[in-house]
Structure 1
Amino acid sequence: MSAIPRVAPDPYREVTDVNGRVYRVGETDRSILGRPRKWMVWLPWIAMMGVSVYEYGYSSAEEVLRNAHGWTLTQTFWIAGLWAVFQAGVAFPAGRLRETGVLSPRRAMLTGAVLSGLGIVSLSHLGNPYIVMLGYSVLGGIGAGLVYATCINTVGKWYPDNKGGRTGFVNGGFAYGTLPLIFVFNYWFHPSNYKLILDLIALGMVLIVAYCGWFFRDPPKSWWPADVDPLNRGTTEDAKRVARRLAKNPPAKAQFTTKQAIKTGQLPLMWFALVLIGGVSLFGINFQVPFAKSLGFGPLVAASSAGVLAVVNGVGRAAVGWLSDYLGRRTTLTLVLVVAGVAQFGVLWSGQAHNEPLFLLFAFINGFGGGAFYPLFASMTPDYFGENNNAQNYGAVYSAKLIGGVGGGGLAASVVTAWGYSGAYYLAGGIAFLSAVITLFLRQPDAPRRSGEGPAGRGTALAEVSG
């Protein structure tokens, strides 16, 4: 059966707004995709859950792996840190290949499925930490990064009118999808069976991601949903609702290339803010379970704290995505980063007080603040720079996790060794607050000037061109 049914194309027209941005309207999602665009929400969501064990399951499995292979704490978390480097690092070159038509979303997903599976297999069958870094960190990182970036960018392209809620929902799967495996790792994962469990996880990952990825397809450049007026001239209740949402997060004033986006100063600012909070988030993911165990908390509390972090992290991504559609993306982002900073101190103080209920409460708060910012950055990128080059532009922003991955993994392990958990959590809290302050300076950039244009930029005439 064909993955993409053949459908006669709809006629379209191009509408230009006061900023000179062009919208391609008239074509329905069914005429392009062969099915409703909601498929490009559900399938990316399932695929994201399929690879979520990489980021949110490793800390629960690390003790068994460390003892089985004789790794040091620093070696163990350098493997996780380098994985984050390659997972984030592939986003920009993959985005570049996608936007130039060299790499289709389907091919990106199928490649990501195979490499992700190989990464998990290397973790189960290789013992040398440096070889594991090549398998799990490099291959697995690239594979999971291809899946993550393709899923996030695909849903953003299909929902230019409702990026926040949809992107947040899909992004959430990357967190809570690993919940069952967290409890498997804490209760049934032992040196006698870890290879079998990891091999089964790898097999399931390949099958799930490959099946979902087979149906992926991008809309045409500048596409806009046929039933949504990009100029907000509708009078129905649905049109008014969309207009209110777009008033808080107006479409980008132009389709920026990555070079143009960098020149605005806003993309580098977003990148730096994500460097800081990304490292804090990975620190929480990697070290919350080891911190709980170092305090003498039992496996139930350790597993529950990790499970709470993953579930709330994922649900929080969906919730703030929806909330940002009504409060505004930048305001919501600042609030989330403040919460993330407070959570670092709360986890530390409740743990030192050996107050298990309070510790789980702050694990809840940490889960919310430690991941909800990702869909906000993912939605703000096309809000600021447009959808046409979003795979490449968001790849540039998301590459910040390259630095955050090192900070939240190997360097964080060194900080814990040198300063203890107290020093590490105090440092993480301060960095989160600094990231929140930086976001106060984010503003949607004006359209790039063309040669011969005056200070006002483009004219105010609207134009419609048939296509």
Structure 2
Amino acid sequence: MSVTPHVVPGQYREVSDANGRVYRVGETDRSLLGRPRAWMVWLPWIAMMGVSVYEYGYSSAEAVLEHAHGWTLTETFWIASIWAVFQAGVAFPAGRLRETGVLPARTAMLAGAVFSGLGFLALSHLSNPYVVIAGYSVLGGTGAGLVYATCINMVGKWYPDNKGARTGFVNGGFAYGTLPLIFVFNYWFHPSNYKMVLDLIALGMVLVVAFCGMFFRDPPKSWWPHDVDPLNRGVSEDARRVAKRLAKNPPAKGQFTPMEAIRTGQLPLMWFALVCIGGVSLFGINFQVPFAKSLGFGPLVAASSAGVLAVVNGVGRAIVGWLSDYLGRRQTLGLVLVVAGLAQFGVLWSGQAHNEPLFLIFAFLNGFGGGAFYPLFAALTPDYFGENNNAQNYGLVYSAKLVGGVGGGGVAAGVVAAWGYAGAYYLAGGIAFLSALITVFLRQPGAPRRSGDGSPVAEVGGRTPSPAEATT
């Protein structure tokens, strides 16, 4: 197959590889979007930064919130835990609605913007923890989840040829986007001004996410970039680079429905691995600042450790996404999870030694290992199960955060109360190593079984091609 750069608008051809997977080629990103597909990287990245304060800023604000609202530490972190449940739980139902056309990407983003803003208004103006859970955790979690899931899936759909680097870059915005607010929460956030600060955050969140979401649009099913040969028969330098990436992370052998993906056994394995490491990650995000303060470290070290965690968490996602394109997604994932396990012990030991520089170094490693796995799971899912149902399939994988969120927040607060920070960090390190071990058993599944002969129907510009064209 050769793909020419000159494309007649509206015409496309569907070709299949040896596994029977169909690729829709011929349509350019500009003909579909009216602009380069790079817009579907930059806009999701900005939107992810817009809602990042939910996950990566909460721990820096928790002391003031406890004082202002009269909450206990456990109440404060159960609010965060239930937020994580709804943020992750909305991914699969929203993905199903998106794939069936009921919930367009633009609508999902606008709804996410409104719900996210309402969540922060609830945190600002309500004190009853159960009412705050309804506003911040349920509405805010749903809103942030809609934004997160829509942004991540958007990138995977527009970049089926280069998912790792792009997904990692966009995913990184969900971490380091909150960096300025971490320092605001540690230095200029007080019971006297907390309402104003939270109200301004809510307003900014709505405006940023809604603006970005107005431009969102999904490509057609099975779309493939017109200038990239999906069968890897090109001879140019660019073609060789793409072929090298695809050799390490070959396209899925079919377009799996959620049930087909579950039956392979690989999706449940990915889900369990993410349960383990997701809980460890949220534990680090939620408790690193309180741990630093309990050691007597000043606000600069506490804020810096949280800032380092957020920045490295985000930048690390972009780096490992790019690295996984060349080393392989599964191999990179295993390496990241080992680092996450080692970082838990390092944060504990350096803290107990009251060694502030070493504490910040391990906060660096904790930030890297505690977030870099998210884009790897996000890219691994379409690598294994295809792009057409990725909103649902990754929604199922990401739902692991439902369990991990409870473990890394409310349950972890109970563990800290019962065993102290030492027991909690030892447990977190062991769970991270278990997650790394699980990745050894991940394998790309074979083509899904279909009823009948399962052969794809190829079309050229809306007509049925000749047999010669169909096999081109």
TM-score normalized with structure 2 length: 0.95
Contact map agreement 1:15 1:464 (CA 8 A) in 2? yes
In structure 1, the residue matched to 2:30 is 30
In structure 2, the residue matched to 1:247 is 247
Q: 1:440 is aligned with what amino acid? A: V
In structure 2, the residue matched to 1:125 is 125
Contact map agreement 1:17 1:463 (CA 8 A) in 2? no
DSSP 3-state at the match of 1:15: strand
Contact map agreement 2:282 2:404 (CA 8 A) in 1? yes
Query: Structure 1 residues 134, 464: closer, same or farther in 2, change over 3 A?
Result: closer
In structure 2, the residue matched to 1:203 is 203
- Deviation per CA, 1:35-56: give whole Å up to 9, x if none: 0000000000000000000000
In structure 1, the residue matched to 2:374 is 374
Deviating 4+ runs (over 2 angstroms) = 7-10, 449-453, 462-465
In structure 2, the residue matched to 1:61 is 61
TM superposition shift of 1:448: 1.6
Q: 1:466 is aligned with what amino acid? A: V
TM superposition shift of 1:452: 6.5
Q: 1:55 is aligned with what amino acid? A: E
1:466 to 453, 460, 467: 460
TM superposition shift of 1:465: 3.9
In structure 2, the residue matched to 1:153 is 153
Q: Distance in 1 between matches of 2:260 and 2:101?
A: 20
Q: Distance in 2 between matches of 1:228 and 1:198?
A: 46
Q: 1:321 is aligned with what amino acid? A: G
Q: 1:397 is aligned with what amino acid? A: V
Contact map agreement 1:99 1:392 (CA 8 A) in 2? yes
Q: Distance in 2 between matches of 1:66 and 1:355?
A: 28
Q: Where do 5+ consecutive residues of structure 1 fail to align?
A: 1-6
DSSP 3-state at the match of 1:14: strand
In structure 2, the residue matched to 1:190 is 190
In structure 2, the residue matched to 1:136 is 136
- Deviation per CA, 1:401-439: give whole Å up to 9, x if none: 000000000000000000000000000000000000001
Contact map agreement 1:109 1:150 (CA 8 A) in 2? yes
Please show how residues 16-415 of structure 1 align to structure 2 within 5 Å: 16-415=16-415
Q: 2:128 is aligned with what amino acid? A: N
DSSP 3-state at the match of 2:14: strand
Q: Distance in 2 between matches of 1:399 and 1:46?
A: 23
Query: Structure 1 residues 410, 317: closer, same or farther in 2, change over 3 A?
Result: same
Q: 2:386 is aligned with what amino acid? A: G
TM superposition shift of 1:8: 8.1
Q: Distance in 2 between matches of 1:109 and 1:77?
A: 27
TM superposition shift of 1:9: 3.2
- Deviation per CA, 1:173-222: give whole Å up to 9, x if none: 00000000000000000000000000000000000000000000000000
Q: Distance in 2 between matches of 1:391 and 1:229?
A: 25
TM-score normalized with structure 1 length: 0.96
Q: Distance in 2 between matches of 1:10 and 1:107?
A: 25
Q: Distance in 2 between matches of 1:109 and 1:401?
A: 21
Contact map agreement 1:87 1:141 (CA 8 A) in 2? yes
DSSP 3-state at the match of 2:15: strand
DSSP 3-state at the match of 2:92: helix
Q: Distance in 1 between matches of 2:8 and 2:182?
A: 47
Contact map agreement 2:24 2:223 (CA 8 A) in 1? yes
In structure 2, the residue matched to 1:10 is 10
TM superposition shift of 1:235: 0.2
Contact map agreement 2:255 2:448 (CA 8 A) in 1? no
Query: Structure 1 residues 110, 463: closer, same or farther in 2, change over 3 A?
Result: closer
